Amino acid sequence: MKLKGKIAVITGATGGIGRELVESLDKEGVTCVLVGRNKDKLEQLSKSLDSPIKKYYVGDFSSDNQIADLAKKVAKEFSRVDLLVNLAGIGVYKLFENVTYKDWQDSLNIGVTSAYFLTRQLLPNLQRSDLALVLNVGSGAGIYGMPGRSVYSMTKFAFRGMTLSLAEEFRGFKPDFCLITLGSVLTEFGPMTLEDKYEQMQAGKAYFTPEWVVKKFVEIIKDPKRETEYTLFPSNYFGGKWNPPKIIS
């Protein structure tokens, strides 16, 4: 499917994967509606795009009210939305005894509730599209429990369950729902710096690059026979530090 002329709403648009996706879709002729919390970064990214329509929305996704208001504004301004990409997230990596209620609530709002509000509000807009796709980006932490990541895993398990359930609920109807469960990527997301990740990579840990990940994303978006879920893990994602559950068939 050609993407020229499509309209995509992308949350987490200025992050490592988000920015790369925006730039790739812009080259395909897609009008990218940027959503994030940093006005300066959003404005800078918007100005760099080729699209004649340059639109961004600033919102603090830890706030229910801001999420809901932003979703209404997007739905009102764009009568048709072809693609919604829910990339917003927060990486709280702490031992459970150190997790605060704010950590819990912010993680849930940013990682799950934001997707609820945007998907719910934009349903009529998506249903006017021939693409009509909600692409949700999850994590291996939404499949396997990991030590020190109870809060992050909570959001990713919930996000995965919501996406897969909606895929069944809307099967045969618009929009389509697709989940990409993603392993480690060379971005600044999480508690480690990009430099730390490069050092780990030199020591043998595998990471995807944002460019490689986004190339796969665009292939999936264009594919009319796409699957409901894709799992993309680097070769040694589990790193020998903990053991994922055995699969019994």
Q: Is residue 238 part of a domain?
A: no
- What is the Cα gyration radius of the chain? 18
Amino acid, single-letter form, for residue 17: I
Could you tell me the CA-to-CA distances from 65 to 9, 50, 146, 220 in Å, in that order?
19, 32, 31, 32
Given this model, what pLDDT does residue 146 score? 84
Given this model, what pLDDT does residue 72 score? 95
Q: Is residue 37 part of a domain?
A: yes
Q: How many angstroms separate the CA atoms of 226 and 126, rounded? A: 17
Q: How many angstroms separate the CA atoms of 249 and 223, rounded? A: 30
| Cis omega (within 30 of 0) for bond into 52 | no
Given this model, what pLDDT does residue 245 score? 46
Count H helices, E strands: the chain? 8, 7
Q: Is residue 72 part of a domain?
A: yes
Q: Is residue 215 part of a domain?
A: yes
- Mean of the per-residue pLDDT values of the chain: 90
Total structural domains in the chain? 1
Q: Is residue 63 part of a domain?
A: yes
Q: Which CATH number does the domain housing residue 95 bear? A: 3.40.50.720
pLDDT tens digits, one per residue of 17-35? 999 999 999 999 999 999 9
Q: Residue 22 is part of which domain span?
A: 7-232
pLDDT tens digits, one per residue of 197-246? 777 777 777 778 889 999 999 999 999 999 999 999 887 665 544 444 44
Stretch 145-174: mean pLDDT, rounded?
95
Residue-by-residue DSSP string for 144-181: S--TT-HHHHHHHHHHHHHHHHHHHHTTTSSSEEEEEE
Tally of CB atoms within 10 A around 180: 21
Q: Is residue 240 part of a domain?
A: no
pLDDT over threshold 80, residue 247: no
Would you give the distance in Å from CA 38 to the centre of its chain?
Answer: 17
Tell me which residue has tokens 């989940």.
179
Q: Is residue 244 part of a domain?
A: no
Would you give the distance in Å from CA 152 to the centre of its chain?
Answer: 14
Q: Of the given ranges (20-24, 135-139, 165-169, 181-185), which has the lowest mean pLDDT?
A: 181-185
Q: Is residue 1 part of a domain?
A: no
pLDDT over threshold 80, residue 186: no
Given this model, what pLDDT does residue 202 score? 76
pLDDT tens digits, one per residue of 67-118? 999 999 999 999 999 999 999 988 888 999 999 999 999 999 999 999 999 9
